[in-house]
Structure 1
Amino acid sequence: MHWTSIERTPLVLAIGLAILALAGCTTSKEQLLSHGDQTMLDIWQAETGGGVQGDQASHQLLDTRQSLRRPLTDTEVEAAPTIQATYTRTAANEIHRQFPRLPNPDLVMYVFPHLAGSDPVPVPGYSTVFPLYQRVQYAMPGERVEDD
Protein backbone atom coordinates (compact mmCIF):
# COMPACT_ATOMS: atom_id res chain seq x y z
CA MET A 1 0.00 0.00 0.00
CA HIS A 2 1.42 3.36 -1.02
CA TRP A 3 0.67 6.44 0.99
CA THR A 4 0.41 9.75 -0.68
CA SER A 5 2.09 12.78 0.82
CA ILE A 6 -1.30 14.20 1.89
CA GLU A 7 -2.05 11.09 3.94
CA ARG A 8 1.41 11.10 5.58
CA THR A 9 1.33 14.75 6.64
CA PRO A 10 -0.74 14.28 9.87
CA LEU A 11 1.39 11.30 10.88
CA VAL A 12 4.65 13.16 10.29
CA LEU A 13 3.33 16.17 12.17
CA ALA A 14 2.28 14.05 15.17
CA ILE A 15 5.68 12.33 15.31
CA GLY A 16 7.47 15.67 15.03
CA LEU A 17 5.44 17.17 17.90
CA ALA A 18 6.11 14.11 20.08
CA ILE A 19 9.86 14.41 19.45
CA LEU A 20 9.79 18.13 20.29
CA ALA A 21 7.82 17.48 23.50
CA LEU A 22 10.28 14.82 24.62
CA ALA A 23 13.25 17.00 23.74
CA GLY A 24 11.89 19.74 26.02
CA CYS A 25 12.21 17.39 29.00
CA THR A 26 15.95 16.85 28.50
CA THR A 27 17.05 20.15 30.07
CA SER A 28 19.50 19.73 32.94
CA LYS A 29 18.89 21.19 36.38
CA GLU A 30 22.08 23.24 36.30
CA GLN A 31 21.17 24.76 32.94
CA LEU A 32 17.60 25.53 34.01
CA LEU A 33 18.25 26.65 37.61
CA SER A 34 21.79 27.86 37.62
CA HIS A 35 23.12 29.30 40.85
CA GLY A 36 26.23 31.25 41.58
CA ASP A 37 28.80 30.85 44.30
CA GLN A 38 26.54 32.51 46.91
CA THR A 39 24.96 30.47 49.69
CA MET A 40 21.65 31.30 51.33
CA LEU A 41 23.55 32.78 54.28
CA ASP A 42 25.43 35.12 51.93
CA ILE A 43 22.17 36.25 50.29
CA TRP A 44 20.51 36.72 53.69
CA GLN A 45 23.35 38.83 55.05
CA ALA A 46 23.49 40.92 51.88
CA GLU A 47 19.77 41.63 51.94
CA THR A 48 19.48 42.28 55.69
CA GLY A 49 22.57 44.41 56.06
CA GLY A 50 24.60 41.67 57.72
CA GLY A 51 28.28 41.04 57.18
CA VAL A 52 31.11 43.52 57.62
CA GLN A 53 29.18 46.67 56.74
CA GLY A 54 26.10 45.46 58.64
CA ASP A 55 27.93 44.96 61.94
CA GLN A 56 27.99 48.69 62.66
CA ALA A 57 24.32 49.08 61.67
CA SER A 58 23.25 46.13 63.80
CA HIS A 59 25.18 47.51 66.79
CA GLN A 60 23.47 50.89 66.35
CA LEU A 61 20.08 49.15 66.19
CA LEU A 62 20.86 47.16 69.33
CA ASP A 63 22.00 50.30 71.19
CA THR A 64 18.82 52.12 70.18
CA ARG A 65 16.68 49.24 71.40
CA GLN A 66 18.53 49.10 74.70
CA SER A 67 17.99 52.82 75.28
CA LEU A 68 14.24 52.40 74.75
CA ARG A 69 13.97 49.56 77.24
CA ARG A 70 13.22 50.44 80.85
CA PRO A 71 12.35 48.42 83.95
CA LEU A 72 8.70 48.13 85.03
CA THR A 73 7.55 50.15 88.02
CA ASP A 74 5.92 48.47 91.04
CA THR A 75 2.50 49.75 89.96
CA GLU A 76 2.94 48.24 86.51
CA VAL A 77 4.07 44.91 87.99
CA GLU A 78 0.99 44.79 90.25
CA ALA A 79 -1.36 45.72 87.41
CA ALA A 80 0.15 43.22 84.94
CA PRO A 81 -1.98 40.15 85.89
CA THR A 82 -5.20 42.14 85.58
CA ILE A 83 -4.21 43.56 82.21
CA GLN A 84 -3.00 40.19 80.96
CA ALA A 85 -6.25 38.50 82.03
CA THR A 86 -8.15 40.58 79.49
CA TYR A 87 -5.99 39.08 76.73
CA THR A 88 -6.38 35.50 77.95
CA ARG A 89 -8.45 33.35 75.65
CA THR A 90 -11.13 31.23 77.25
CA ALA A 91 -13.92 29.25 75.66
CA ALA A 92 -16.51 31.68 76.98
CA ASN A 93 -14.91 34.91 75.77
CA GLU A 94 -14.06 33.34 72.40
CA ILE A 95 -17.70 32.41 71.82
CA HIS A 96 -19.00 35.79 72.97
CA ARG A 97 -16.37 37.68 70.99
CA GLN A 98 -16.67 35.71 67.75
CA PHE A 99 -20.42 35.05 67.82
CA PRO A 100 -22.08 37.95 69.63
CA ARG A 101 -25.76 37.67 70.44
CA LEU A 102 -28.01 39.80 68.32
CA PRO A 103 -30.45 42.01 70.19
CA ASN A 104 -33.80 40.38 70.86
CA PRO A 105 -36.04 43.16 72.13
CA ASP A 106 -38.95 42.40 74.43
CA LEU A 107 -42.39 43.28 73.16
CA VAL A 108 -45.12 44.27 75.57
CA MET A 109 -48.61 43.30 74.51
CA TYR A 110 -51.80 44.37 76.23
CA VAL A 111 -54.65 41.86 76.13
CA PHE A 112 -58.01 43.58 76.40
CA PRO A 113 -60.69 42.19 78.73
CA HIS A 114 -62.56 39.42 76.99
CA LEU A 115 -64.64 36.28 77.39
CA ALA A 116 -62.80 32.97 76.98
CA GLY A 117 -63.59 29.27 76.85
CA SER A 118 -66.62 27.21 75.84
CA ASP A 119 -68.50 28.68 78.78
CA PRO A 120 -67.77 32.38 78.32
CA VAL A 121 -65.72 33.31 81.35
CA PRO A 122 -64.67 36.94 81.75
CA VAL A 123 -60.91 37.53 81.65
CA PRO A 124 -59.65 40.88 82.92
CA GLY A 125 -57.24 42.88 80.80
CA TYR A 126 -53.53 42.23 81.36
CA SER A 127 -50.09 42.92 79.89
CA THR A 128 -47.61 40.26 78.83
CA VAL A 129 -44.01 40.39 77.66
CA PHE A 130 -42.49 38.16 74.99
CA PRO A 131 -39.31 38.31 72.88
CA LEU A 132 -39.45 39.48 69.28
CA TYR A 133 -37.63 36.38 68.03
CA GLN A 134 -38.51 32.88 69.18
CA ARG A 135 -34.85 31.80 69.50
CA VAL A 136 -31.62 33.55 70.42
CA GLN A 137 -29.89 34.74 67.23
CA TYR A 138 -26.10 34.98 66.84
CA ALA A 139 -24.07 37.10 64.46
CA MET A 140 -21.43 35.50 62.26
CA PRO A 141 -17.80 36.52 62.92
CA GLY A 142 -17.28 40.06 61.64
CA GLU A 143 -20.97 40.54 60.84
CA ARG A 144 -21.77 42.87 63.74
CA VAL A 145 -19.36 45.62 64.73
CA GLU A 146 -21.29 47.86 67.14
CA ASP A 147 -21.53 46.98 70.84
CA ASP A 148 -24.79 46.41 72.65
Structure 2
Amino acid sequence: MPHRIWIEVVTVALTVITLTGCTTNTEELLSHNGSTMIDVWNQQTSGASLNGQASQQLLDARQTLRRSLVEPLTPSSSEPYTRTAQNEIHRQFHRLPNPDLVMYVFPHWAGTDPVPVPGYSTVFPLYQRVQYAMPGERLEDY
Protein backbone atom coordinates (compact mmCIF):
# COMPACT_ATOMS: atom_id res chain seq x y z
CA MET A 1 0.00 0.00 0.00
CA PRO A 2 2.76 2.61 0.82
CA HIS A 3 4.34 1.84 -2.56
CA ARG A 4 1.10 2.79 -4.35
CA ILE A 5 0.86 6.11 -2.45
CA TRP A 6 4.42 6.95 -3.39
CA ILE A 7 3.67 6.33 -7.10
CA GLU A 8 0.55 8.54 -6.92
CA VAL A 9 2.50 11.38 -5.26
CA VAL A 10 5.19 11.24 -7.96
CA THR A 11 2.54 11.16 -10.70
CA VAL A 12 0.74 14.21 -9.28
CA ALA A 13 4.05 16.08 -8.86
CA LEU A 14 5.07 15.42 -12.47
CA THR A 15 1.65 16.51 -13.71
CA VAL A 16 1.84 19.78 -11.75
CA ILE A 17 5.37 20.48 -13.05
CA THR A 18 4.29 19.79 -16.64
CA LEU A 19 1.25 22.03 -16.43
CA THR A 20 3.28 24.81 -14.81
CA GLY A 21 5.77 24.72 -17.68
CA CYS A 22 2.99 24.93 -20.26
CA THR A 23 1.46 28.03 -18.67
CA THR A 24 4.53 30.22 -19.27
CA ASN A 25 3.70 33.22 -21.43
CA THR A 26 6.20 33.51 -24.29
CA GLU A 27 5.50 37.23 -24.74
CA GLU A 28 6.64 37.91 -21.18
CA LEU A 29 9.61 35.59 -21.54
CA LEU A 30 10.78 36.85 -24.97
CA SER A 31 9.38 40.35 -25.30
CA HIS A 32 10.45 42.26 -28.40
CA ASN A 33 8.75 45.60 -27.65
CA GLY A 34 7.26 45.74 -31.15
CA SER A 35 10.67 45.69 -32.86
CA THR A 36 11.19 43.52 -35.92
CA MET A 37 14.45 41.77 -36.72
CA ILE A 38 15.30 44.38 -39.35
CA ASP A 39 14.81 47.14 -36.76
CA VAL A 40 17.16 45.41 -34.33
CA TRP A 41 19.71 44.82 -37.11
CA ASN A 42 19.62 48.44 -38.27
CA GLN A 43 19.93 49.74 -34.73
CA GLN A 44 22.92 47.53 -33.92
CA THR A 45 24.79 48.04 -37.21
CA SER A 46 24.13 51.68 -38.01
CA GLY A 47 25.71 53.04 -34.87
CA ALA A 48 22.51 54.87 -33.92
CA SER A 49 23.08 54.19 -30.25
CA LEU A 50 26.67 55.48 -30.42
CA ASN A 51 27.77 59.09 -30.29
CA GLY A 52 28.73 60.85 -33.53
CA GLN A 53 32.49 60.29 -33.34
CA ALA A 54 32.22 56.57 -32.57
CA SER A 55 29.65 56.22 -35.35
CA GLN A 56 32.02 57.84 -37.83
CA GLN A 57 34.89 55.58 -36.71
CA LEU A 58 32.67 52.56 -37.22
CA LEU A 59 31.75 53.68 -40.73
CA ASP A 60 35.41 54.40 -41.57
CA ALA A 61 36.47 50.96 -40.37
CA ARG A 62 33.79 49.32 -42.49
CA GLN A 63 34.80 51.34 -45.54
CA THR A 64 38.40 50.12 -45.33
CA LEU A 65 37.17 46.52 -45.34
CA ARG A 66 34.96 46.97 -48.41
CA ARG A 67 36.32 46.39 -51.88
CA SER A 68 34.85 47.02 -55.28
CA LEU A 69 32.95 44.21 -56.96
CA VAL A 70 33.79 45.35 -60.50
CA GLU A 71 37.52 45.99 -60.10
CA PRO A 72 39.64 42.86 -60.75
CA LEU A 73 42.20 41.61 -58.25
CA THR A 74 45.58 43.20 -58.66
CA PRO A 75 48.42 40.83 -59.49
CA SER A 76 50.25 41.82 -56.31
CA SER A 77 47.36 40.69 -54.08
CA SER A 78 47.22 37.16 -55.52
CA GLU A 79 50.91 36.80 -56.35
CA PRO A 80 52.02 34.76 -53.30
CA TYR A 81 49.44 32.05 -54.03
CA THR A 82 49.64 31.94 -57.84
CA ARG A 83 51.72 29.29 -59.54
CA THR A 84 54.11 30.65 -62.14
CA ALA A 85 57.19 29.23 -63.84
CA GLN A 86 59.41 31.45 -61.71
CA ASN A 87 58.00 30.55 -58.29
CA GLU A 88 57.49 26.90 -59.23
CA ILE A 89 61.19 26.24 -58.71
CA HIS A 90 61.10 27.86 -55.26
CA ARG A 91 59.31 26.37 -52.29
CA GLN A 92 56.15 28.22 -51.29
CA PHE A 93 55.38 26.07 -48.27
CA HIS A 94 58.48 25.78 -46.12
CA ARG A 95 58.85 22.91 -43.70
CA LEU A 96 58.68 23.88 -40.06
CA PRO A 97 61.43 22.62 -37.77
CA ASN A 98 60.90 19.21 -36.22
CA PRO A 99 63.65 18.76 -33.62
CA ASP A 100 65.05 15.34 -32.84
CA LEU A 101 64.77 14.04 -29.31
CA VAL A 102 67.37 11.71 -27.87
CA MET A 103 66.16 9.14 -25.36
CA TYR A 104 68.40 6.90 -23.29
CA VAL A 105 67.10 3.42 -22.52
CA PHE A 106 68.63 2.03 -19.35
CA PRO A 107 69.99 -1.54 -19.25
CA HIS A 108 67.17 -3.99 -18.66
CA TRP A 109 65.98 -7.59 -19.02
CA ALA A 110 63.83 -8.50 -22.05
CA GLY A 111 61.90 -11.46 -23.41
CA THR A 112 60.23 -14.50 -21.86
CA ASP A 113 63.66 -15.93 -21.07
CA PRO A 114 65.19 -12.83 -19.44
CA VAL A 115 68.06 -11.70 -21.60
CA PRO A 116 70.15 -8.71 -20.54
CA VAL A 117 69.93 -5.72 -22.89
CA PRO A 118 72.67 -3.10 -22.52
CA GLY A 119 71.77 0.58 -22.27
CA TYR A 120 71.49 2.49 -25.54
CA SER A 121 70.34 5.83 -27.00
CA THR A 122 67.69 6.28 -29.67
CA VAL A 123 66.60 9.30 -31.68
CA PHE A 124 63.03 10.16 -32.73
CA PRO A 125 61.33 13.31 -34.05
CA LEU A 126 59.29 15.52 -31.72
CA TYR A 127 56.26 15.70 -34.02
CA GLN A 128 54.72 12.68 -35.71
CA ARG A 129 53.97 14.46 -38.99
CA VAL A 130 55.86 17.03 -41.05
CA GLN A 131 54.32 20.49 -40.58
CA TYR A 132 54.38 23.22 -43.28
CA ALA A 133 54.13 27.01 -43.02
CA MET A 134 51.82 29.16 -45.15
CA PRO A 135 53.53 31.35 -47.76
CA GLY A 136 55.22 34.24 -46.01
CA GLU A 137 54.57 32.83 -42.54
CA ARG A 138 58.19 31.91 -41.79
CA LEU A 139 61.08 34.01 -43.02
CA GLU A 140 63.88 31.78 -41.78
CA ASP A 141 65.02 28.98 -44.07
CA TYR A 142 65.43 25.63 -42.36
Q: TM-score, normalised by structure 1?
A: 0.36
Q: Which gives a bigger RCO, structure 1 or 2 (Cα 8 Å, sep 6+)? A: 2
**TM-score normalized by the length of structure 2:** 0.37
* Structure showing the higher helix proportion among its residues: 1
